[in-house]
Amino acid sequence: MKTLGIVNQKGGVGKTTTAINLAAYLAAGGRKVLLIDMDPQGNATSGLGLRGVERGLYEALSDPAQAEALIQPTSQEGLFLLPATPDLAGAGVELANEPYALRELLGALSGYDLAIVDAPPSLGPITINVLSAADALIIPLQAEYYALEGLAGLTETVDRVRTALNPDLKILGVALTMFDGRTNLAQEVEQSVRNHFGELVFWSVVPRNVRLSESPSFARAINQFAPMSSGAAAYKRLSEEVLQRVQKI
């Protein structure tokens, strides 16, 4: 099993939207995929229609032997969810002393081809756990003027984790999200991001698409909610690029 962390400490850049829809397309393509909601906000959990779950990731982190029993099926064949529960909000304190808790949880699972981990907008202990457990990271960047701002903090954290906790951690790619092709600004931002990150930037750019923002309230990923939308096409292409890159790591 390969583990991909979806990380960016900046809020609202499209991490959860990318985690859900990427996971859904990878599952639709025949992989057995586990989406792990590592964000106490629980947006990936509610976006797939699971509400009021009492036991989930927090309990699985405390006792990896129980993890499989806490994983839920979803409406997408091949896509499984380890949901966030409110307890996760307090887990940061405990996880500060246990940087390998998620890695140990993943080690107790078998049968999945890929795990996709949705991280919270912070560089705290929860995100450190994601970085320590991941084979590679996908960094969503919102195509706006301040896209690159704050990334130094993320790259420094990635470097520290490589030194201290996970020497094999890779960056799989940078995904541009919420792109509005009608504005010159978005195109300038795309150019500067490509200049800065080179081939790390995925070719598939996710457009701003209202269908993507509506789909969580219908408890469906975009491949089921609006498969003909521009957002769906973008995440399908992105999933193909991700698979090609995953096969090389």
Ligand X SMILES: Nc1ncnc2c1ncn2[C@@H]1O[C@H](COP(=O)(O)OP(=O)(O)OP(=O)(O)O)[C@@H](O)[C@H]1O
- Interaction site with ligand X (CB under 6 A): 11-17, 39, 41, 43, 121, 177-178, 206, 208-209, 212-213, 231
Among Mg ion, ligand X, none, the one that 62 touches (CB under a kind-dependent 5 to 8 A) is: none
CB 99 → ligand X: shortest distance, Å?
Answer: 21
Pairing mode of beta strands 2-6, 136-142: parallel
Tell me if 8 contacts Mg ion by CB under 5 A.
no
Among Mg ion, ligand X, none, the one that 12 touches (CB under a kind-dependent 5 to 8 A) is: ligand X
> Which residue in 10, 15, 103, 236 binds Mg ion (CB under 5 A)?
15
Q: What share of residues in the chain are helix, strand, coil (percent, to 5)?
A: 50, 15, 35
Closer residue to ligand X (CB): 11 or 150: 11
Closer residue to ligand X (CB): 109 or 143: 143
Span of 1-9, 16-24, 50-58, 193-201 interacting with Mg ion by CB under 5 A: 16-24
Selection from 4, 31, 32 nearest residue 118 by Cα:
4
Pairing mode of beta strands 136-142, 72-73: unpaired
Closer residue to Mg ion (CB): 45 or 74: 45
Where would I find the H helices in the chain? 15-28, 43-47, 57-62, 67-70, 91-96, 101-107, 125-133, 151-164, 184-197, 210-214, 222-225, 230-246
> Which residue in 16, 21, 46, 239 binds Mg ion (CB under 5 A)?
16
Amino acid symbol at 214: E
Tell me if 129 contacts Mg ion by CB under 5 A.
no
79 phi, psi to nearest 5 deg: -110, 125
Closer residue to Mg ion (CB): 15 or 103: 15
Closer residue to Mg ion (CB): 50 or 65: 50
Selection from 13, 6, 45, 9 nearest residue 178 by Cα:
13
Tell me if 204 contacts Mg ion by CB under 5 A.
no
Q: Whole-angstrom Cα distance, residue 137 to residue 123?
A: 14
Q: Whole-angstrom Cα distance, residue 140 to residue 173?
A: 9
Closer residue to Mg ion (CB): 16 or 127: 16
Among Mg ion, ligand X, none, the one that 209 touches (CB under a kind-dependent 5 to 8 A) is: ligand X
99 phi, psi to nearest 5 deg: -65, -15
Selection from 127, 51, 136, 137 nearest residue 91 by Cα:
127
Among Mg ion, ligand X, none, the one that 11 touches (CB under a kind-dependent 5 to 8 A) is: ligand X
> Which residue in 8, 9, 43, 229 binds Mg ion (CB under 5 A)?
43
Residues binding Mg ion (CB under 5 A): 15-16, 43
